[in-house]
A and B are shown apart, each in its own frame.
Chain A
């Protein structure tokens, strides 16, 4: 353990720690541009120079390992002079366009120029200019601002696994580019905007929309996939202006995928902002009042026998709303509730059977990864990034059973059907210490789901996924609301005969697998935030809130409960979902026994204590699940056809529709076509 002195303060660090990191441990911040915690160290910006006693010249602290008995000064006159020199060099070719630059106000170069910049320029020659690059619909470039730190290049190489960007040419002509004009085709491209320390790469949809100091920042969580990435929602007034990642080492580290980042414009379009009721005569939906909508709904619920009534909780539903709906149905003596609205009828009786038991951090421990019917790149992009890192660090073996996919690491394609999974058990039994099996929840969309579930359990056990300190059986959900709803028992004892229901309550449910089975005569209540398949079929529409508009709990695919916080108000007359259900229970004359959020949460935690441990994964015990039976010889299908169009918010987003056109379907970007 090297011991060294930084600014006359003793510090002991683990071997291999750089001086920069050692200084950070005692709270001394060293300016930097090219260094990034999560990326490799190129040491090319020279901003982190420090004085090292005995060294003839200042050293780059990001690349110099801390050694025993080193004496380091991070803010001496010599250091200040060196950094001033570096800053002057960087600014020689940097345009003075901060007033029209989107990075202004949150720019590393701007901030550090305040500390180390010279107040005038000694450079009288022409500044160099670099042509802008067209990197697709998400990243806007102003390459003249680039200081060649290569963070974006390293991000592409090391995290995203797409080496489209590179450092081309040399000397004065050095530039970041793609060589051949092409869009940066990765579902993590937005993070390149975040890592860029200057305004060279900025967000195209956010261009010239807002300044960072006028935005309200709300720390919340994301619902576009099952991981529950931690995000920060920046809003102005009632409008979400942008979404940024928030550091959470256990889940998303400091990245988010493009669907999470750019879906926000979908929150402003196609919203259900007032109640609607289908007119008895014209059979057309007409605008209505809350009073009318709720009383129509209440009378429909009251007049239907409990056995012919069913409630569905969709992909984006929070735990409180699902609980309120379950309580409402229970108060009418109805247990026909279902959250597996995508038709993935796995066995929900054992928690370990439907969550990600290894946790996301467990991916780094795994020495064999078996993917079953899942494309992690599309179903959980950051899980994919973790698998890639494991592959980069340790060349972990990855085996895929299911439709072949373009992943960011090499894998063995071992078939497409359940029988190939059985074969895996023979091939890999006992071969690995920490084998990990990741099953996409979508594989259970088949009639033999229960038998398949049991088969996968057997296989996992045979391969050795279960040991004293390791559970390598994982189900990866796409729907953010699924695990939370399952945890509160939002599923029926027997699969529902949806066709025979005469009154159906759809809470944020737009999945065709459910909607198409509803009988033509049934009375349908849709509660949700976007107009889609569910709202189109509905007889009553109760406008609810999207994830940025409510305080709510979601449980991610690991079984980790997390708190989402309200950033903006819901549009128009839309209300928080659990409140709508609570109001409805009042209209029925049997009000649920909670009047505010703290009461419903108290109710939740009393019965389901796993929600009490916020942000913690509670491990479920391993038990028997699934049902033995015949498994059909039928290939696993692709769950996500289009990464950019997976739920009702993304379908309303112009940005993501454009991404879908350009990246998924390979068409010409609109801007170019117009030129």
Chain B
């Protein structure tokens, strides 16, 4: 994933303040005194979610991202140079440094998913939305990102939409899911082919007793 370098872009707000001050205090208090920089990552996440909440209410919706002012605010709260926060924020693909769509689609295209037709799923989404990887739809609803392994290999292929995994996809299923999101109806996450969790589609083949106890068969 190519990170944004257009950081002096005009859409950067001039200032940023956390709304949930209690939460900020709680996050910083999690770490030993003098180790405030450990709070950088959860605070960045909090900032991203706060911006995302505002985005939902906006006329043209957008998803969570971290403005530069927010990074500076986090640096101030953690008592480090802003550069330290920029380094962290640019390193992780989880942090968006420019506005994204209301629904952020993160397609896994690493080997196991790819072997299970991840590229077909991705292409179906691109064709349906009329955009390519890295782009956002004009209505502000969707952004497509290509990411490395998200750790759901047993349910390949998969896509992460905002905070949820949609697994065992087919190109057709993908389009259905997108249509549903376009109506702001959130379809149930998880495997899309009827399988439970990550067990075999035909039901458990081992550890039957435990499966019974857990109530899956």
B83 and A173 contacting across the interface, CB-CB below 8 Å: no
Contact with B along A168-200 (1 / 0, CB 8 A): 111001000011110000000000000000000
A173 and B81 contacting across the interface, CB-CB below 8 Å: no
Given A180-B8, A181-B8, A169 and B83 touching (CB < 8 A)? no
Query: Residue of B at shortest CB range from A164?
Result: B83
CB of B102 within 8 Å of the partner chain: no
Which residues in window 366-404 of A have CB below 8 A to B?
Answer: none
9-residue interface stretch from B86-94, B106-114, B169-177, B198-206: B86-94
Write 21 A-B pairs (CB below 8 A) sorted by A numbering: A131-B5, A157-B81, A163-B81, A163-B83, A164-B83, A165-B83, A166-B84, A166-B86, A167-B87, A168-B3, A168-B90, A169-B3, A169-B90, A170-B91, A173-B2, A173-B3, A178-B83, A179-B86, A179-B90, A180-B8, A180-B68
Query: Residue of A at shortest CB range from B1?
Result: A173
Query: Residue of B at shortest CB range from A157?
Result: B81
Interchain CA distance A164-B81 in the complex, whole Å: 8
CB of B208 within 8 Å of the partner chain: no
Contact with B along A585-616 (1 / 0, CB 8 A): 00000000000000000000000000000000
Contact with B along A154-166 (1 / 0, CB 8 A): 0001000001111
For A168, list chain B residues within 8 Å (CB): 3, 86-87, 90-91
Interchain CA distance A164-B8 in the complex, whole Å: 16
For B5, list chain A residues within 8 Å (CB): 131
Interchain CA distance A167-B88 in the complex, whole Å: 9
Interchain CA distance A131-B7 in the complex, whole Å: 14
Which residues in window 321-368 of A have CB below 8 A to B?
Answer: none
Which residues in window 505-561 of A have CB below 8 A to B?
Answer: none
For A166, list chain B residues within 8 Å (CB): 83-84, 86-87
Interchain CA distance A178-B87 in the complex, whole Å: 10
Known: A164-B83, A178-B83, A179-B82; 12 extra A-B contacts, CB below 8 A, are: A131-B5, A157-B81, A165-B83, A166-B84, A166-B87, A169-B3, A169-B91, A179-B7, A179-B83, A179-B86, A179-B90, A180-B8
For A180, list chain B residues within 8 Å (CB): 7-8, 68
Which residues in window 44-97 of A have CB below 8 A to B?
Answer: none
Interface residues on B, range: 10 to 19
For A163, list chain B residues within 8 Å (CB): 81-84
For A165, list chain B residues within 8 Å (CB): 83
Of the listed residues A169, A170, A173, the one surrounded by the most CB atoms of chain B closer than 10 A to its CB is A169
- Give B53 Cβ to nearest chain A Cβ, in Å: 26
For B83, list chain A residues within 8 Å (CB): 163-166, 178-179
Contact with A along B1-26 (1 / 0, CB 8 A): 01101011000000000000000000
For A181, list chain B residues within 8 Å (CB): 8
Interchain CA distance A169-B84 in the complex, whole Å: 12
For B90, list chain A residues within 8 Å (CB): 168-170, 179
Contact with A along B53-95 (1 / 0, CB 8 A): 0000000000000001000000000000111101100111000
Interchain CA distance A431-B6 in the complex, whole Å: 52
Interchain CA distance A254-B86 in the complex, whole Å: 30
Interchain CA distance A165-B83 in the complex, whole Å: 7
Interchain CA distance A157-B83 in the complex, whole Å: 10
Query: Residue of B at shortest CB range from A181?
Result: B8
Total A-B Cβ pairs within 8 A: 36
For B91, list chain A residues within 8 Å (CB): 168-170
- Give A519 Cβ to nearest chain B Cβ, in Å: 55
For A169, list chain B residues within 8 Å (CB): 3, 90-91
- Give A392 Cβ to nearest chain B Cβ, in Å: 13
For A178, list chain B residues within 8 Å (CB): 83
Interchain CA distance A167-B87 in the complex, whole Å: 6
Which residues in window 127-173 of A have CB below 8 A to B?
Answer: 131, 157, 163-170, 173
What 10 pairs between A and B have smallest CB-CB spacing?
A163-B81, A166-B83, A179-B86, A163-B83, A168-B90, A166-B87, A169-B90, A170-B91, A169-B3, A167-B87
- Give B159 Cβ to nearest chain A Cβ, in Å: 22
Interchain CA distance A180-B72 in the complex, whole Å: 12
- Give B109 Cβ to nearest chain A Cβ, in Å: 15
Interchain CA distance A217-B84 in the complex, whole Å: 39
Query: Residue of A at shortest CB range from B72?
Result: A180
Interchain CA distance A181-B68 in the complex, whole Å: 13
Interchain CA distance A165-B68 in the complex, whole Å: 16
For B2, list chain A residues within 8 Å (CB): 173
- Give A307 Cβ to nearest chain B Cβ, in Å: 61
- Give B63 Cβ to nearest chain A Cβ, in Å: 21
Interchain CA distance A250-B8 in the complex, whole Å: 44
Contact with B along A95-117 (1 / 0, CB 8 A): 00000000000000000000000
For B7, list chain A residues within 8 Å (CB): 179-180
For A157, list chain B residues within 8 Å (CB): 81
Query: Residue of B at shortest CB range from A172?
Result: B2
- Give B173 Cβ to nearest chain A Cβ, in Å: 31
- Give A451 Cβ to nearest chain B Cβ, in Å: 43
Interchain CA distance A166-B84 in the complex, whole Å: 7
Which residues in window 40-59 of B have CB below 8 A to A?
Answer: none
Interchain CA distance A662-B68 in the complex, whole Å: 24
- Give A311 Cβ to nearest chain B Cβ, in Å: 51
Query: Residue of B at shortest CB range from A163?
Result: B81
Interchain CA distance A164-B83 in the complex, whole Å: 6
For B92, list chain A residues within 8 Å (CB): 170
Query: Residue of A at shortest CB range from B148?
Result: A171
Interchain CA distance A169-B7 in the complex, whole Å: 13
Query: Residue of A at shortest CB range from B75?
Result: A163
Query: Residue of B at shortest CB range from A179?
Result: B86
- Give A152 Cβ to nearest chain B Cβ, in Å: 12
- Give A212 Cβ to nearest chain B Cβ, in Å: 32
For B8, list chain A residues within 8 Å (CB): 180-181
For B86, list chain A residues within 8 Å (CB): 166, 168, 179
Interchain CA distance A181-B86 in the complex, whole Å: 13
- Give B171 Cβ to nearest chain A Cβ, in Å: 29
For B81, list chain A residues within 8 Å (CB): 157, 163
Interchain CA distance A299-B62 in the complex, whole Å: 87
For A131, list chain B residues within 8 Å (CB): 5
Interchain CA distance A170-B95 in the complex, whole Å: 13
- Give A585 Cβ to nearest chain B Cβ, in Å: 59
- Give A671 Cβ to nearest chain B Cβ, in Å: 18
- Give B108 Cβ to nearest chain A Cβ, in Å: 16
- Give A525 Cβ to nearest chain B Cβ, in Å: 53
For A170, list chain B residues within 8 Å (CB): 90-92
Interchain CA distance A164-B2 in the complex, whole Å: 23
Which residues in window 85-138 of B have CB below 8 A to A?
Answer: 86-87, 90-92
Query: Residue of B at shortest CB range from A161?
Result: B81
Which residues in window 208-236 of A have CB below 8 A to B?
Answer: none
Interchain CA distance A163-B86 in the complex, whole Å: 11
- Give A7 Cβ to nearest chain B Cβ, in Å: 38
- Give B2 Cβ to nearest chain A Cβ, in Å: 7
Query: Residue of B at shortest CB range from A174?
Result: B91
Interchain CA distance A168-B91 in the complex, whole Å: 7
- Give B59 Cβ to nearest chain A Cβ, in Å: 29
Query: Residue of B at shortest CB range from A167?
Result: B87
Query: Residue of A at shortest CB range from B12?
Result: A180
Interchain CA distance A614-B74 in the complex, whole Å: 52
Query: Residue of B at shortest CB range from A166?
Result: B83
Interchain CA distance A178-B82 in the complex, whole Å: 10
Interchain CA distance A163-B37 in the complex, whole Å: 15
Of the listed residues B5, B90, B91, the one surrounded by the most CB atoms of chain A closer than 10 A to its CB is B90
- Give A125 Cβ to nearest chain B Cβ, in Å: 17
- Give B161 Cβ to nearest chain A Cβ, in Å: 23
Interchain CA distance A164-B86 in the complex, whole Å: 11
For A164, list chain B residues within 8 Å (CB): 83
Query: Residue of A at shortest CB range from B71?
Result: A179
Of the listed residues A157, A170, A173, A179, the one surrounded by the most CB atoms of chain B closer than 10 A to its CB is A179
Query: Residue of B at shortest CB range from A156?
Result: B83
